[in-house]
Structure 1
Amino acid sequence: MGGTKCVIPILLCLIFETYGLPRVDPLVDSKIGLIRGLTAPDGTYSMFLGIPFATVDPSNPFGPSTPHPGFEGTFDAYDDSAICPQREEFNQTLTGTLDCLHLNVYVPSTASSKNRLPVLVWIYGGGFSIGFAGRYVYGPKYLVKHEVILVTINYRLGPYGFMCLDNPKVPGNQGLKDQLLGLRWVKDNIEAFGGDSDKITIFGESAGAVSVGFHLIYTQEELFRNVILQSGTPLAPFAIAEPDYNAPLKLAQYLGFVATNSDDALEFLRTVDTDLILAATEATGIVNLPCVENKFDNVESLITDHPINVEIPNAKSVPILIGFNNREQLGTYAKAGPELFESDEFYKTIESHFTYDSEHLARVAENVRQFYIGDEDISASMKWEISDFSSDFFFNHPNYRFIQKYLENGGNNVYHYLFSYDGDRNFVKRRLNITDSGASHADEITYLFDFTPFNESPTSDDQLVIDRMTTLWTNFVKYSEPIPETSDLLPVQWPLVTKESLTCLNIDSELSIQKRPFHDRVAYWDLFYRLNKVFQKGYKED
C-alpha cells in the first residue's frame, strides 16, 4: 500500500509523504495496539499475519478462550504458521499448540479511511478436527484483487475445541466461541485496516459452512451482513452430536490416570502434552463435534437447542449464498477398497441419525436401499449409487432443508449454486489422483484461494473459473447480489430461490441456470423427512 491510500493513521501517512521515504512495512493503529504487516510480493496488497485475537487459559485449555488483551509495543504480524492441535492432513503428523488463536488480514493497497472496502471472513472446514487459516491452503491473491479485505481465522479443534461436558468449565462449542471472538475482533478493528465494518460477509466450507450457519442462527450480535455456505449447513448430519460427558475420564484412564470425576480428570489432562491428548482421543474413538449446551450461570452459551428445532431470527435481514458440489462424496468412493462395502451403509447411516425401534429401522433402511440400488448387493459395483446416497444424505438434502428453513423464516434473499467444474485445480481430486468425472467435496476451494502446492499457472479454462467464482463471491460481499448486472464474464442472470422455484446457478466450464438439481433424489428425501421428521435425533415436539 502506498501514497495516500495506505492503511495507517493519517499522521503516519503524512510523515511518509512529506519526507518521501519508502515505506517497507505497512503499519496499522488498531484498538488493541500498533500492528506491523508485510507488503505482498507483487505490491498490490498488505498482509498482517498471525494477529492474536484470543487466548486460551492454561489452567483450563479445554474451556472457553478470552479476548486478547492487546499489545504494549508494536506487534510484528509476519507469521501465519500457527496451527491448533490436530493431526495435520497433509503430513498426517500430530502438531499444533494452544497459542493458535490468530487471524490473518489481507488488505488491498486501495483501502483507506476514505475508501473503506467490504470484508470477507473465512472459516475453514475439516470436520471440526483439522484445518488452519494460513496461506499454504488459503492464499489470498485471487480474492483481494477484487477490492475486498480478506480475513482468515484459526479456531480450536477436536477435544480442545469441541469437548462438551455437563460442566461450566467445559460447556461445549469452544471452537465456535473462538470463531465468535474472531468475528467480534474483526467488527471492532477492521476499520483501522481500511475495512467497512458494516459490510462484513462470513463464509466457510464443510465444517466451516456449518459454523457459518450456526452463527447465522444463534449469534444475536450484528457482526456480519451476508453469509456464504459451501457444502455444509447446521442441518447436516455431521454438524452436531450428542455429547460424551465421560470423555475426560476415558482420556485420563487411557493415559494412565484413574479419576473418579470429570474435574479431577480435567485437572490431570491440562498437564498432558497436546499430542498425547490427540493420540488418546483417536485411540478411544471419542468424537468431538458441536453440541447442544447445558446452560450455566455466567457462562456464555451458543447452541441452546438443536438446529432442527430453532428458527433463523436473522433470515429476513441476512442474504445467503449457499450450495454444494455435484459429486460430493466422489473423493470417498473413487478409491474405496472392499472394506468400505463390508457393512450396510444404508442401515448404519439411518441408525446413527434416527431413533426408530429395531423393526422400524430395518424397514426404513431397506426402503432407502431399494431406492438407490434396488435388489443389488452392497458391493464395489454399486459404489456410485452408494456415493449418491451418501452425498444426498450428508450434503445435498441438508442444503435444501436449510434453504427451506430460511424461506419459512421470512428470508427472501437466497442464491443457490451447484459447482460442477472438473478442472486441473480441483482440490481433492488432484491430491488423490482421481480421474472420474465431477467435482468432489472441497474441490471448489482452489478456485477461490491460491493453494501453495498448485504452483503452476492455471490453465485458461481454470483461470476463467477462478475469475468467475471470485467475482461472484466478491460481488455478493459488495452488493449482496452475485450478478448485479450481466457481463461477458457473467453472462447469465442468477434468480433468487423462492418457495415455488428452487433455481440454482450451475458453475461449470459454462454458467447455466438449473432448477432443482437431482430432483428425483431430492423429492425422495423431501418425502422421507416429511414422514420421519419426529424420529430425527435431537427433535423436540413443539
Structure 2
Amino acid sequence: MLRLAFFAVLLVGALGSSDYTNRVFKESCDGLSAEVDSGKLCGLIKEYKNTTFGTFRGVPYAKPPLAELRFKELQKAEAWEDYFDASVEGSICPQRIILFGPLMAPRSIGEDCINANIHVPLENGALPTKTKLPIIVWVHGGAFTVGSGDSDVYGPEYLMSRGVIVITFNYRLGALGFLSLNTPSVPGNSGLRDILTLLRWVQENGAKFGGDVDDVTLFGQSAGASAVHMLLLSPQTQNGKLFQKAILQSGSAVRSFFNYQPPYTATVAQTFLTLMGINSTDPEEIHKQLIEADIEQYIEASSTMQDATGLPPFAPVIESTHEGVNIVIDKDPEELIEMGRGQNIPMLLGFTEDECFTFRGRIAETNLTTKLDANADLALPPALATSPLKDELSPRMKERYVSGEKITLDEFQNLCSEAYFKYGVIYTAQRREQLGGAESFLYQFAYRGEHRLLDVLGYKLKKTCHFEDVTYVFQQHTNVSIPEDVFEGSVDRDMQNWLVDIVINFVKKSDPAGSVVNWPPISRFLFRYQDIVENKYKTASLLTDTKTKDLVDFLTKLYNDGAATQRG
C-alpha cells in the first residue's frame, strides 16, 4: 500500500533542480491566458458536468529556496518573458510518502516546489470580470511531513460550480519546513512563512483571476488546519488583510498532535543533526553543512525519527526574536488565544468520528503499542511531553485508555483519536466561545459512505475516520479513485453536494447552514455542534453527549494539572 520503493526511486531521480529547470515556456498561448506579477501564464480550459473552468497549475509564487536560500524566507519569483506553461503541476516538496501512497501521483519531487494551482470558474469561456469571486486558499495536510496541493488528491471540480476561486499550493515540509535551531539562519517555521508568502501573492494577484482579495477563506485539514490556526494567531496576520474566514478540519494549533515548545524542538533538532552526521556546535558551521547536505539525507534522518515514535518530528515552534527574521509565532499559542488573537475571524471547525483509524496500519507497522508499554511517556498527548509533571500524568492516561497490562491496537487508536485530534478541535471551539468574538461552528463528520475512498485503498473501515470529509469536498484523480459514474449513482453524491453546500455557505455568508435552528454557532444553546451522519441537519450538545463530555473533562483536567503550556 505504501509504495515506498517507487517513491524512493522518484525522489532520487528528481532532486537538486535549479530555478525553473523543469518548467516549460511558450511564445504563444493556445489555451487560457492570464498574467501575474512575474509574467504571463498559459493554462487550460476544463469541463466538469455543466461547468467550464480555467486551471493554471504549477505557477511559481516565489523563488525556489535552493542552495543558500534553503532555510530563508521566500523571495519574490523571478520574472519571465514568454508564456509560462501552466497546464501541468510542478514538483512536490521533498518527502517520503508513508500514507495514501497509491492516491498520490506527483510528476516529480524536488526543492523547486514552491508553486500554486489556481482554479477559476469561467464567464462565457473567459476569466470573470463582472463580479469578484470569493477565494478559497487550501492548505494541505500530512503531519507537516508529506503532501502537496496537487489535484491527484485535491481536485477542484466539486467547488467550481459554486462561484468561488480555489487555490492550492505546496509549502516546505519536514526539516526543510520546520527544523528550528533557534538561530537567525534556521529559526523554524519556514513552512508557515511559505503560507504567508502565498497569501501575500494572492493579495497581489488574486484580482487578475477575477478574485475578491478582500474575501479570502483559509481552509486546511489535519496539519493544514493546525497551520491555519497558527497563522490566525500570528502577529503577521492581525491587520485582517490576508484572510477573513478560516476552516479547520481535524486539526488545531493547541492541544493537538504536535509539541511546539522550544525545549522539545531543541531535542528534535539535536537528534536530527546527529543522524545527519553534523557534530559541530558552531551555528554557522551547522548551517553550512545543512546547506551542503543532500536532500536524501534529510529524508532518511526524518524517516528514522518518525519511525521511532510514530509522530511527525518537525512542526511549528514558538520562536525567539532574531534580527532580520519576521517572527511568525511570538508566544505560546494558548497565550495568544487568551490575548484575543484571531477572535474576529469567523471559523468553521470539525473532526471525524474515529480520526486515527486512518493511521491504524502505521501504528502497527511502527510497533507503537509495544513502544508505549516500554515507555509510558508515549501515552501522553505530544503537547504534554515536556510537562514537568509528566511522570504523574502518564499513569492517568494509561488508566483511562488501557484496560489490561498492555495496550491493544484498538486502545491506542482510541487514545490517538481523542487526545491527538478530537480534543484539540473541541478545546479550540470552547475557548472561542468563552472569549467571545466572531461566531464559530463545530461539526463531527460521522457519515459512513456507500463508496469510501479509504476502503478502496484497503483500510476496511468501520467508522468514519481522518481525511474522509475531505474526499467529499475535493475530487481525487488517480487510478484508485472512485469512478465518477459509480459515485454519481449513489447516496454519496447527495452527501458530497450537501457538504460542499456547507463549505460554500460559510465561505460566502460566514454561516454553514444559514439558520441558527439548523446549525447554531457554538456560543449558543448549550454548546451545540452538528453531528453529520447523513445529509440532514442533526444537532448534538457537548453537555448531553456523555462520551464526548467525558473525554473533554478528562483531558482538560490533565492539561490543567500538567501546566501544559509551561508559561511564566
> Is contact 1:428-1:440 (8 Å) kept?
no
2:317 pairs with 1:291: yes
* 1:462 and 2:492 aligned: yes
Contact 1:353–1:536, Cα closer than 8 Å, also in 2? no
Match of 1:6 in 2: none
* Counterpart Cα distance in 1 of 2:497 and 2:157: 12
3-state SS of 1:46 partner? strand
Alignment of 1:236-315 (within 5 A): 236-243=255-262, 244-245=265-266, 254-255=275-276, 258-283=279-304, 287-311=313-337, 313-315=340-342
Please name the residue that 1:505 is paired with: 530
- Residue number among 87, 91, 102 corresponding to 2:115 in the alignment: 102
The residue aligned with 1:174 is 190
- Cα distance, 1:392 vs structure 2: 1.3
Q: Give the 3 Å change call, closer, same or farther, for CA 146–357 of structure 1 in structure 2.
A: closer
RMSD: 3.0
The question of whether the paired residues in 1 share the 8 Å contact of 2:257 and 2:421 is answered with no
User: Among residues 52, 73, 76, which one is paired with 1:64 in the alignment?
Assistant: 73
Q: What do residues 349-408 of structure 1 show as CA deviations (whole Å, max 9, x unaligned)? A: 3285437999x645543333333455x33343xx44443332111111111211122223
- Match of residue 177 from structure 2: 161
- Displacement, 1:332? 2.9
Matches within 5 A, 1:58-457: 58-89=67-98, 90=101, 96-110=109-123, 112-218=128-234, 219-221=237-239, 222-243=241-262, 244-245=265-266, 254-255=275-276, 258-283=279-304, 287-311=313-337, 313-333=340-360, 337=364, 339-342=367-370, 343-344=372-373, 347-350=377-380, 352-354=382-384, 361=390, 363-374=392-403, 376-380=404-408, 383-436=409-462, 438-453=463-478, 454-457=481-484
In 1: Cα distance, 2:473 partner to 2:381 partner: 37
Counterpart CA distance in 2 for 1:196 and 1:507 is: 31
1:251–1:39: structure 2 CA closer, same or farther, 3 Å change rule? same
Which region of structure 1 is more displaced relative to structure 2, 524-533 or 406-415? 524-533
- Residues 59-99 of structure 1: per-residue CA shift (max 9 Å, x gap): 13123222324433332212213200111241699972111
Which segment is superposed worse, 396-405 or 383-392?
383-392
Say which SS state the counterpart of residue 44 (structure 1) adopts. Answer: strand
**Amino acid in structure 2 at the alignment position of 1:78:** S
Give 1:460 deviation, angstroms. Answer: 1.9
Which consecutive unaligned segments of at least 5 residues does structure 1 have? 1-22, 487-491
> SS at 1:66's partner residue?
coil
Q: 1:507 deviation in Å?
A: 1.8
Equivalent residue for 1:494, pick from 509, 519, 525: 519
Query: Partner of 1:40 in structure 2?
Result: 46
Look up the SS of the partner of 2:67 in the other structure. coil
CA distance in 2 between counterparts of 1:357 and 1:27 reads 55
CA distance in 1, matches of 2:450, 2:296: 35
Is the alpha carbon distance of 1:48 and 1:324 closer, same or farther for their aligned partners in structure 2, counting shifts above 3 Å? same
Would you say the 8 A contact 1:108–1:144 is kept in 2? yes
Equivalent residue for 1:16? Answer: none
How big is the shift at 1:256?
A: 5.3
2:268–2:314 contact (8 Å) kept in structure 1: no
SS at match of 1:264: helix
Question: Residue type of the partner of 1:406?
Answer: R
Is contact 2:56-2:87 (8 Å) kept?
Answer: yes
Which letter does structure 1 place at the counterpart of 2:520? P
User: What SS class does the counterpart of residue 288 from structure 1 fall into?
Assistant: coil
Name the CA distance, whole Å, in 2 between partners of 1:169 and 1:469. Answer: 43
Cα distance in 2 for partners of 1:518, 1:148 equals: 36
Matched, 1:482 2:534: no
> Structure 2: how far apart are the matches of 1:256 and 1:365?
33
CA contact (8 A) 1:249 1:258 kept: no
Query: Which amino acid in 2 is paired with 1:238?
Result: F
Provide the C-alpha distance between the structure 2 equivalents of 1:335 and 1:260, rounded to a whole number of angstroms.
Answer: 35
Q: In 2, are the aligned partners of 1:202 and 1:228 still within 8 Å (CA)?
A: yes
Residue 227 (structure 1) shift: 0.4
Q: TM-score, normalised by structure 2?
A: 0.82
Give the aligned partner of residue 560 of structure 2.
533
Cα distance in 2 for partners of 1:93, 1:474 equals 28
Shift of the 81–422 alpha-carbon distance from structure 1 to 2, 3 Å rule, reads farther
Structure 1 segments, 4+ long, off by >6 Å, are 91-95, 246-249, 355-358
1: CA distance between counterparts of 2:97 and 2:361? 23
Q: Distance in 2 between matches of 1:463 and 1:133?
A: 23
Whether contact under 8 Å (2:186, 2:287) holds in the other structure is no
Distance 2:163 2:393 in 1: 51
* CA shift digits 1:37-65 (9 cap, x unpaired): 11114571000111111121521312322
Distance 1:255 1:481, change over 3 A: closer
| Inter-CA distance 385–351: structure 2 relative to 1 (3 Å threshold) | closer
Q: Separation in 2 of the partners of 1:82 and 1:357?
A: 40
Could you tell me which amino acid in structure 2 is paired with residue 40 of structure 1? K
In structure 2, how many angstroms separate the alpha carbons of the residues matched to 1:50 and 1:93? 14
Q: Tell me the distance in 1 between the aligned counterparts of 2:110 and 2:387.
A: 44
Offset at residue 220 of structure 1 (A): 2.1
Query: What TM-score comes out, normalization by structure 1 length?
Result: 0.86
Amino acid paired to 2:290: L
CA shift in 2, pair 1:279/1:114, >3 Å: same
Number of the residue aligned with 1:4:
none
Distance 1:508 1:524, change over 3 A: closer
Structure 2 unaligned blocks of 5 or more: 1-28, 307-311
Following superposition, the deviation at residue 274 of structure 1 comes to: 1.3
Find the aligned partners of 2:184 and 2:318 in 1 and give their Cα distance: 14
Please give the per-residue CA displacement for 1:182-202, whole angstroms capped at 9, x wherever unaligned.
Answer: 011112211110111111101
Of 512-521 and 172-181, more deviation after overlay is shown by 512-521
Q: CA deviation at 1:255?
A: 5.0
Does structure 2 conserve the Cα–Cα contact (< 8 Å) formed by 1:237 and 1:394? Answer: yes
CA shift, 1:265, in A, is 2.6
How big is the shift at 1:348? 2.2
Contact 1:465 1:509 (C-alpha < 8 Å) held by counterparts = yes
- Equivalent residue of 2:167, what SS? strand
User: How many percent identity over aligned positions?
Assistant: 26
Larger radius of gyration: 1
Number of aligned positions between the proteins: 509
Cα 1:247–1:262 shift into 2, 3 Å: farther
Counterpart-to-counterpart distance in 2, 1:276 and 1:127: 19
Match of 1:10 in 2: none
